[in-house]
Amino acid sequence: MAVPIVHWLPVHSELGWTLLGLICASILLWRLAPAERRRIGFVWALSVAALVLWLGTALPASPLWIAQTARAILELIGMLLAVVFVFQVILRRWRAPRILSDLIIGVGYVAILIVLLTRVGVNLTGIIATSAVATAVIGFGMQDLLGNLAGGLVLEFERTIREGDWIRTDQFYGQVRSVRLRHTALETPDHDTILAPNSALMRSAVTILGRTASSGGDPMKHRKLVVFQLHYGYSPAAVVEAVEQALGASPMEGIAENPKPRCIVVEYHPQYVEYGALVWLMRPGFELVDISGVRTRINFALTRIGAPLSSIPYMVEQRTEAAPDLDAESKERMDLLRRIEVVQCLNEEETRQLATHMRKASFAPGEVILRQGDAGDSAYIVKSGRVRILLSNDSGLSEQVACLAPGDFFGEMSLLTGERRTATALALDQVDCYQIAKADLDAVFAGRPDVAADIAGLLANRQEGLAAVREKLSDEAARQRELQNRSDLLSRIRRYFEI
């Protein structure tokens, strides 16, 4: 047995040394190219096969194909490691298209197979030339493969579809994750992965919904029409104005601020008017969540103008509904008014009269109730929820100065003097308010004009108390400034209400 082993070693030892060197190179690339560890794992599996075949060549009278197959596997391993080294180490900074490395590997597979068959004595030229049937079968079987390959090359080199793009076809919808030789990987909003054949993408119309900034384009903006219906009892102009104001009052997650959201009348149906809100979506895959926020804003806006969303029956139903408990609501309104310091000078009848005319208003979380610098002629009593009061400086930065709770009152200066809003009020969660408008106080001042002086005194006292806390004024200085503010406020109230 000693003679065959000695004879075998000089002939085949180079295969063993080559395999050892390739394994060491693969271990090094395992650390240098972590993104290709799956391919390196395949290289190790091939190394085990090559090792088995290399040991098989030590057998007496081993067939020629064993040594040639081992050599072909080593060539395949070397080709794979070379591609990984070039594209993942040398060209990593330039981010060469992955399909290019896949194409090189595919060509390498074919070349190594042809060389192997030639080494073992297979006449490929004669087989292909003398067998037209085999040629036709091979060509027909590779039709889809060649179509996918050509489609992948076109998509990659034309760069019409890039990684990160959101696309939609007749069959597929998702974000492009990678373009490979045979397929394009798409990730759906449900985080499922679709392997769309490249030939299918080339044969169908592809809509690129948006190109993210990471893929070289501007932030994605996709227009969406959110429809809703109301019956003919409401003014379309009032509905459009209320919805546009609600959608543009403060930012909404996933909705672009520019172009601004718009509300339009879509169509007049026999039973109802169909409206639509045009918004620009910025987060593909979160369409359902973002549109839900838009619908919530629309619902609150319609509720504030007395046009809540409800079912629209196609036939008249005659039924008697239970009357609301007006006494309980009136009592609640009266209790809230009695807690407001500015209107505590009103008598019982005037308080009841003002409570009757107050109008309910609800706001969605994150919605702006008042904006600093806007004109206004109303004030609000918080019934439920929390309201942030923000003050903006000259640089445009906003700072929270107060957080209001149920029973608190805000916006009184615009109500009483007509001046512009001095701060911004933002709903922290769902906020239900009672709104007091200038017209509601007109009737009170018409019945008792001197109540304006009492309200001016209470308002001046409230402002001076806040100023004294902030500036730590002395009692005498605070009293003198209170008298001056009272006189100034009274003249402004009388001039605004034409008393």
DSSP string, 229-267: EE-TTS-HHHHHHHHHHHHHSS--TTB-SSSPPEEEEEE
Q: Assess if residue 320 is contained within a domain.
A: no
**Domain stops at, among 122, 137, 169:** 122
Q: What is the pLDDT of residue 330?
A: 83
- Segments forming the whole domain that contains residue 383: 327-448
pLDDT at 139: 55
Q: How high is the pLDDT of residue 432?
A: 92
User: Looking at 408, 424, 448, which one is the last position of a domain?
Assistant: 448
Strand partners, 196: 184
Here the CATH number for the domain that contains residue 272 is 3.30.70.100
User: If residue 431 lies in a helix (H) or strand (E), which one and from where to where?
Assistant: strand 431-437
Q: What is the mean pLDDT of the chain?
A: 78
pLDDT at 392: 83
pTM, to two decimals: 0.59
The pLDDT value recorded for residue 473 is: 40
Same domain for 337 and 433?
yes
Distance CA 211, CA 180 (A): 19
Exposed / middle / buried, residue 389 (Cβ in 10 Å: 0-12, 13-18, 19+): buried
CATH number for the domain harbouring residue 181: 2.30.30.60
C-alpha torsion sign, points 226, 230, 232, 233: negative
What pLDDT does residue 481 have? 55
Compare 469 and 109 and report the one with higher pLDDT.
Answer: 109
Same domain, yes or no, for 342 and 444? yes
Element (H, E) at 150: helix 143-158
Instruction: Indicate whether 314 belongs to any domain.
Output: no
Strand partners, 381: 409, 434
Do 172 and 187 share a domain, yes or no? yes
Is 116 a residue whose pLDDT tops 60? yes
Based on the fold, state whether residues 118 and 177 are members of the same structural domain. Answer: no
Instruction: Report which of 57, 56, 9, 50 is spatially closest to residue 26, judged by C-alpha positions.
Output: 50
Q: Does a structural domain hold residue 371?
A: yes
**pLDDT single digits (tens) 413-444:** 888 888 898 889 999 988 999 999 988 888 88
Domain boundary among 304, 337, 367: 304
Is residue 479 a part of any domain in this protein? no
319 occurs within a structural domain: no
Write b or e for each residue in 417-433: b if 16 or more Cβ atoms lie within 10 A of its Cβ, otherwise e. Answer: bbeebebbbbbeeebbb
Q: Is the pLDDT of residue 246 over 80?
A: yes
Please report whether residue 402 resides in a domain: yes
Q: In terms of domains, do 336 and 423 share one?
A: yes
DSSP string, 377-396: -EEEEEEES-EEEEEE-TTS
Indicate whether 162 and 111 sit together in one domain.
Answer: no
Q: Are residues 265 and 284 in the same domain?
A: yes
Range of weakest confidence among 180-194, 366-380, 463-477: 463-477
Paired with 264 in beta bridges are 276
More confident residue, 63 or 108: 108
Do 116 and 99 lie in one domain? The reply is yes
Q: How many domains are contained in the chain?
A: 4
Residue 198 forms part of a structural domain: yes
41-87 confidence digits (pLDDT tens): 888 888 888 888 777 776 666 677 777 888 888 888 888 888 888 88
Nearest Cα to 43, choosing from 65, 18, 74, 17? Answer: 74
Q: Is residue 300 part of a domain?
A: yes
Q: Do residues 278 and 333 share a domain?
A: no
Sign of CA dihedral 86, 92, 96, 98: positive
| 174 and 234 housed in the same domain | no
First to last CA, the chain: 126
Claim to verify: residue 211 and residue 229 sit in the same structural domain: no
Confidence of residue 474 (pLDDT cuts 50, 70, 90): very low
Both 76 and 102 in one domain: the answer is: yes
Residue 331 has pLDDT above 60, yes or no: yes
Residues 155, 161 contacting (CB under 8 angstroms): yes
Residue 295: how many CB atoms within 10 A of its CB?
Answer: 13
